[in-house]
Amino acid sequence: MRQVTFSISMLLIAASAALAKNPTTLGRVEKLDPAFDAIVDSTAKIEVLASGFTWTEGPVWVEDDRGGHLLFSDIPRNSIFRWSEKGGTELFMSPSGYTGATYYGLEPGSNGLTLDPQGRLTACEHGDRRISVLTKGGGKRTLVDNYKGKRLNSPNDLVFHSSGSIFFTDPPYGLPDRESDPRRELDFCGVYRLDTDGTLTLVSKALERPNGIGLSPDEKTLYVAQSDPANPIWMAFPVNQDKSLGKGKVLFDGKKFMQEFPGLPDGLAVSQDGTIFGSGPGGIYVISPNGKLLGRLITGGRTSNCTFGPKGKTLYITADSFLCRIKLK
């Protein structure tokens, strides 16, 4: 096992080094509204930083004394990788989402990653069906793994509220047989809030396949992407004062774009001005807070997630087997 992991890491480092010497790009930038000019330059390119992964997901930027680095999941490999400008790509953690002793499907690893208020890595783990936090001593703590005594499906993505509460989604994608898996204990896919005292509250089960999740800068709106082929939408839920959710509305419907590119609404990131960057068919969809599509960052393939780099001037994108970035204004 160690030898295999080491070999994978070495191959990725070599691939990353080659890309650093010969930078490559993919896709294109598509402007659909004049407001897009203030977000992305028309000449900006989607740079490929590293490749050779199985399915990249859950990117998060981490500040450090060496200029910062990006952590991201490779779900099928049950691993988290680290990328930095200076160090390229290296294996950060394996296993990342499943610690069992038997085969556990095609997507056992960690998915969404973020940092808690203390700067600790917090992860949605498919195989172990929990949300965990990596402590400074190196071990993990389980934050939540069940709802009313029934195991969660497979936590997918998460976002912290300023109070320390976590909003997260729980579709069945990490279960070996997904929605029909005999290990499944809940008969719905929920959106939850985990409070700092450990209380878990189901805030919505209105969506068949909730996936990516994010909060508006003022925390008055919770955005949830739905990766349901029959209803591929981004939803906006009002957040009440007690952090419960009001009735949601469809922010944007991506169904017509499925005829053009592969993929579904997946992970998302919200900028400081409230603009939503949501992965969808063929790339990243840049959507205003009122639901207007301003433009697209087209990778041309299945695109899973994105996150902002330092000062919000870089968008890192996980797209199929690639790790990419594009400069923002």
Q: How confident is residue 20, by pLDDT bands cut at 50, 70 and 90?
A: very low
Cβ 285 vs Cβ 253: under 8 Å: no
3-state helix, strand, coil in the chain (%, to 5): 10, 45, 45
Res 8 pLDDT > 70: no
Domain 25-327 has CATH 2.120.10.30: yes
Please, which residues have CB within 8 angstroms of residue 179's CB and are 6 or more apart in sequence? 172
**Residue 30 pLDDT more than 80?**
yes
Identify the pLDDT of residue 326: 98
Contact (CB, 8 A) for 322 and 72: no
Q: What is the pLDDT of residues 64-92, one digit of tens each?
A: 988 899 999 999 999 999 999 999 999 99
Beta bridge partners of 73: 57, 80
pTM passes above 0.85: yes
pLDDT in tens, 168-204: 999 999 999 999 999 999 999 999 999 999 999 999 9
* Rounded (5°) CA angle 160-163-165: 45
Q: Say how far residue 5 (Cα) sits from the centre of its chain.
A: 23
